[in-house]
């Protein structure tokens, strides 16, 4: 699984995922610092990356906005920052949902202390 980490993802989470073997590039490394969410999603789609973010605007863009049907996002919605737990949870979600992330044109996974939920577009 290839990941594009948004600017708001804690560096300990990035390091932890890299230690777990994930191919991860940060928005800063990709030259996307300060860019609009739409540009980040476009970049991720062009490079076959899943966006990892704590910014719920990504969820809104995919779930309710004009981008519904494109983009893959794993949205972190934790109340308490515990990088080790978050890394474990992210790894678990990617292991369980590998196929969903690979075949989906659009998928939004919201991950929090209480678990995760998967949102896919309704067929049109």
- The whole-number pLDDT of residue 52 equals 96
Average pLDDT, rounded, for the chain: 87
Q: How many CB atoms lie within 10 A of CB 16?
A: 20
Q: Both tokens of residue 69?
A: 């049907």
pLDDT band at 7 (very low <50, low <70, confident <90, very high): very high
- The whole-number pLDDT of residue 38 equals 84
Tell me the whole-structure pTM to 2 decimals.
Answer: 0.89
2-119 in CATH: which number? 3.40.50
**What's the rounded mean pLDDT across residues 73-97?**
95
Domain residues of the chain, as ranges? Answer: 2-119
Q: At what angle do helices 56-63 and 37-46 cross, to 10 degrees?
A: 70
**What's the rounded mean pLDDT across residues 29-41?**
92
pLDDT band at 120 (very low <50, low <70, confident <90, very high): confident
Q: Is the pLDDT of residue 113 over 80?
A: yes
pLDDT band at 102 (very low <50, low <70, confident <90, very high): confident
pLDDT band at 124 (very low <50, low <70, confident <90, very high): very low
CA neighbours within 13 Å on the CB side: how many for 120? 10
Edge-first strand order for the sheet with 71-76 is: 23-26, 2-5, 50-53, 71-76, 106-112, 115-119
Tell me the C-alpha distance between 67 and 124, whole Å: 14
CB 55 within 8 A of CB 9: no
**Regarding predicted confidence, which is higher, 122 or 106?**
106
- Nearest-CA neighbor of 50 among 3, 116, 101? 3
CB 108 within 8 A of CB 70: no
């Amino acid at each position: 699984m290839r990941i594009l980490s948004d600017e708001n993802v804690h560096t300990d989470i990035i390091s932890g995922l890299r230690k777990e073997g994930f191919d991860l590039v940060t928005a800063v490394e990709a030259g996307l610092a300060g860019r609009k969410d739409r540009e980040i999603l476009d970049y991720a789609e062009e490079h076959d990356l899943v966006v990892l973010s704590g910014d719920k605007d990504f969820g809104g863009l995919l779930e309710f906005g004009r981008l519904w049907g494109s983009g893959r996002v794993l949205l972190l919605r934790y109340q308490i920052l515990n990088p080790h737990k978050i890394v474990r949870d992210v790894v678990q979600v990617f292991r369980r949902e590998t196929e969903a992330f690979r075949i989906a044109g659009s998928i939004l996974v919201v991950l929090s202390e209480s678990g995760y939920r998967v949102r896919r577009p309704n067929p049109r």
